[in-house]
Each structure stands twice: as structure tokens, then as C-alpha cells.
């Protein structure tokens, strides 16, 4: 099978975002632009510079309490989320905790697809708890990103078990060394793509694009 990839871009200037994005899309199907790595004042310029590539981009503005870099208020973040939704990326990553009715309705009016996301940076809940979380997230969007931290192989299996019940659109895997293999197995179970880096990992256990391409070549 072809491994579809999404390169995470975590640059600190609009020019670097554009340069890295062009490089990423030469080899990758998609790219995730982590707008939280930019100063808020630079986000409008980055949006303008990259807009011709938006249909291949996932836009993310992760707050600090969710493992991101954005340090402004939640009111400021929601204002920026509304702005980036208007640029119609492939997906707008929206944390489940921030998915209130008004914001969801605003994003839907822009015709932008929501990728509703939830991360556990400390561990992996039980299969029952994960299933309940998945069902709640499904009410926000059919496109779901559910990520935990694996401290054992069992944790990894728990996350991947979600694929037994899901429709299309689920991206579920585990971070960390124990979860690393789940970043590949999720593709075989139905994930539309897996997140990779161009070099240094943006998240624990993340493969580089070249590593994924090397693994894919072994299947030929």
C-alpha cells in the first residue's frame, strides 16, 4: 500500500513556513502547518504566502495546555482559528475541548472541514474510555484525530482497537517509543495519512518522511 503522509511544519517565520512547505509537498501528500510556532502577528502573512497550497494543508493552532506553543488567551486563539478557517485548508485541527457550538458553526459556514482532535500526553485510557471519547468526538466531525501516550504495547493496542468501530476519517495512534509502530499500523487499519517530520521530530516517536518512504520501498 502507498503510505500517505502529512509533514508537520513547525517554523517560526512566514518565509520559513513557505520554504519548508514547498519542500515537504515535493514528497508528501499533505503538510500540517503549526501556526502556534509563529508569533500571532505573523500568522496573516503566513496565510497569504501559503494559500495556493491550502488544499494539501492541515492548519493547527495548538495552545500551550494542549502541547502547543500558543500562549495568548483562548479568546485570541479562537479569533485566529476563525481567520485561518476562512482560508479553506484541507482540514482545520480543532481541539475537542474548544469545539463549542458557535465556533463549529462559524467554521462550517466557511466550508472548511474540521479535524476534531484530542491528545493525552500522560498515558492511555482504557478501551472503554477511548471508545466513549470517540463517540463524543464523532458528534463534532467525522474526521477525528485521537492520540495518546503509550507506556506499553498494550497501550498501543488499546488505541488501535478504535479502528474496529470507526468509519472513514479516523487518525488514531500513540506517541512515544512504545507507540511508534502505531504511526504505521494506523495506515493499514484505515487512517487517511500519518504525521511525519522532515528531520527532527515535532512529536515523540514521530518518523521522518524519509524513514516512511524507506519502509514503503521495502514492500515493492
Residues with a known catalytic role: 119, 145
Name residues whose C-beta falls within 8 Å of residue 139's C-beta, 6 or more positions apart in sequence. none
94 DSSP assignment: E
Residues 6+ apart with CB under 8 A from 213: 3, 27
Among the listed residues 113, 213, 194, the one whose alpha carbon sits nearest the alpha carbon of residue 147: 194
**How long, in residues, is the chain?**
220
The rounded Cα 105 to chain-centroid distance in angstroms is 21
Residue 39 DSSP one-character state: -
Orientation angle between helical segments 43-50 and 74-85, nearest 10 degrees: 20
Ordered alpha helix ranges (H), 68-138:
74-85, 101-109, 127-138
Which residue is listed with cell 474540521? 114
Amino acid at each position: 500500500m502507498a503510505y500517505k503522509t502529512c509533514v508537520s511544519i513547525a517554523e517560526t517565520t512566514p518565509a520559513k513556513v513557505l520554504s519548508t512547505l514547498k519542500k515537504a509537498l515535493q514528497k508528501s501528500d499533505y503538510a500540517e502547518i503549526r501556526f502556534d510556532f509563529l508569533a500571532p502577528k505573523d500568522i496573516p502573512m503566513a496565510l497569504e504566502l501559503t494559500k495556493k497550497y491550502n488544499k494539501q494543508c492541515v492548519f493547527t493552532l495548538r495552545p500551550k495546555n494542549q502541547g502547543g506553543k500558543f500562549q495568548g488567551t483562548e479568546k485570541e486563539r479562537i479569533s485566529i482559528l476563525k481567520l485561518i478557517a476562512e482560508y479553506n485548508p484541507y482540514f482545520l485541527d480543532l481541539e475537542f475541548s474548544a469545539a463549542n457550538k458557535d465556533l463549529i458553526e462559524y467554521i462550517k459556514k466557511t466550508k472548511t472541514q474540521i479535524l476534531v482532535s484530542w491528545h493525552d500526553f500522560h498515558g492511555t485510557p482504557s478501551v472503554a474510555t477511548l471508545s466513549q471519547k470517540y463517540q463524543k468526538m464523532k458528534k463534532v466531525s467525522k474526521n477525528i484525530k485521537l492520540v495518546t501516550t503509550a507506556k506499553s504495547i498494550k497501550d498501543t493496542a488499546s488505541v488501535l482497537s478504535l479502528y474496529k468501530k470507526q468509519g472513514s476519517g479516523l487518525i488514531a495512534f500513540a506517541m512515544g517509543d512504545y507507540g511508534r509502530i502505531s504511526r504505521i499500523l494506523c495506515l493499514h487499519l484505515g487512517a487517511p495519512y500519518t504525521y511525519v517530520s522532515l528531520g527532527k521530530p515535532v512529536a515523540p516517536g514521530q518518523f521522518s518522511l524519509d524513514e516512511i518512504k524507506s519502509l514503503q520501498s521495502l514492500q515493492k
